[in-house]
Structure 1
Amino acid sequence: MSTPQNWTKALYKELAEKISNSIEAIEWVDLWHNQVGFLEDEHPFPTPAVFLSFRSNNLKDLSQKVQQVILQIDFYLYFETFTDTYKGSYNQDEALSFLDTIDELNKIMHASSGENYTGMKRVSFNPEDTGNAGNLYRISYECLSNDYTAFVEYENGTFSDMEVERFIVEP
């Protein structure tokens, strides 16, 4: 792992790029702010969309203000649809394609590592109520990351006005 100074920003950008480059169906990646609960008030976004939320589950001091973080990342996958999933519906295949996107997300995330994290593993999977015609699933993963935001970097310097005397110490 590298030593980013803004680890959550770097990690978010890394995961957003990984999702965008790997899952063609995903049309929007953003940080989670419960956008689907306020669709009328929020900026519109295309779907399927993935939203990311970060929380620490455990922090361990390593040294020099560096912490190892067991991080939980919630991936909220949202698809606004009026199609039907029931057996025999004329658009069942289209409606169920959302489940393929969930599988694709897990394929690229579970057991993955990156520049800013290692050991990604899925820890939960839950449908979320949206109150509208959308499908929302929260897929939670845990991974390890190092937080260097408080790390103090020192610069190399020189000594000035200093003399060195050589002497022999007798035993």
Structure 2
Amino acid sequence: MQNFVELYKELADKLTLNIPDLRWVDLWNSQVYHMEEEHPFPAPAIFLAFRSNSMQDQGNKIQKVTMQVDVFIYYETFLDTFRGAYNQSDALAFLDMMDHVNQLLHGSSGQSYSSMRRVSYSPIDTGGAGNLWNIVYNCELVDYSAMKEFGEGGFKDLEVQKFDIP
């Protein structure tokens, strides 16, 4: 079954298992702007957000969804990126992480989605020492979340008797 929970878990696992330096993956809730008041997180971190771009009915309570996946990459550093800086390679490590994310996601498909394509990326001002970038992808999934789930069971108050048919 493809749905938003499965999509999040699959992408979070893909990122966590394939980017060794990554220390945190979570759903986006503007955490970067509330680090002082809320639960802090270790960096580098990736946050995922989902938006629908379009939905088409595929049947009763089934929809094909073109999904926008926002990947927010947060990399905290006080290092300098200017040419000649003694710590330039460490300071630019967040760009390597962005490339690694794109290598994993662009052109990928999984159990919960297909046709992942990068459509844009841009820096976001944090007002602090963190580099925050948003990479935007589109993908497709089939959403079955409105369908009623059926489980295995038996019949209540039913008795079966065996007899021979003449």
| Fold conserved between structures, TM > 0.5 | yes
Letter of the structure 1 residue corresponding to residue 69 of structure 2: I
1:2-21 → structure 2 map (5 Å cutoff): 3-4=1-2, 7-21=3-17
Q: Are the aligned partners of 1:70 and 1:145 in contact in 2 as well (CA < 8 Å)?
A: yes
Matches within 5 A, 1:1-171: 3-4=1-2, 7-153=3-149
How far apart, in 2, do the equivalents of 1:17 and 1:121 lie? 19
Distance in 1 between residues matched to 2:79 and 2:150, nearest whole Å: 59
Larger Rg: 1
Deviation for aligned residue 1:152: 3.2
Q: What TM-score comes out, normalization by structure 1 length?
A: 0.86
Q: Runs in 1 of length 4+ with deviation above 3 angstroms? A: 152-158
TM-score w.r.t. length of structure 2 = 0.89
The question of whether the paired residues in 2 share the 8 Å contact of 1:27 and 1:49 is answered with yes
How many matched pairs?
Answer: 155
| Aligned partners of 1:64 and 1:152 also within 8 Å | no
Q: Deviations over 1:14-52 (max 9, x none)?
A: 100000001111110000001111110121111110000
Question: Which structure 2 residue ranges, 5 or more long, are not aligned?
Answer: 159-166
Give the share of equivalent positions with the same residue, in percent.
50
- Judging changes above 3 Å, is the alpha-carbon distance between structure 1 residues 78 and 61 closer, same or farther for their aligned structure 2 residues? same
CA distance in 2, matches of 1:17, 1:84: 31
| d(CA) in 1 for partners of 2:47, 2:151 | 39
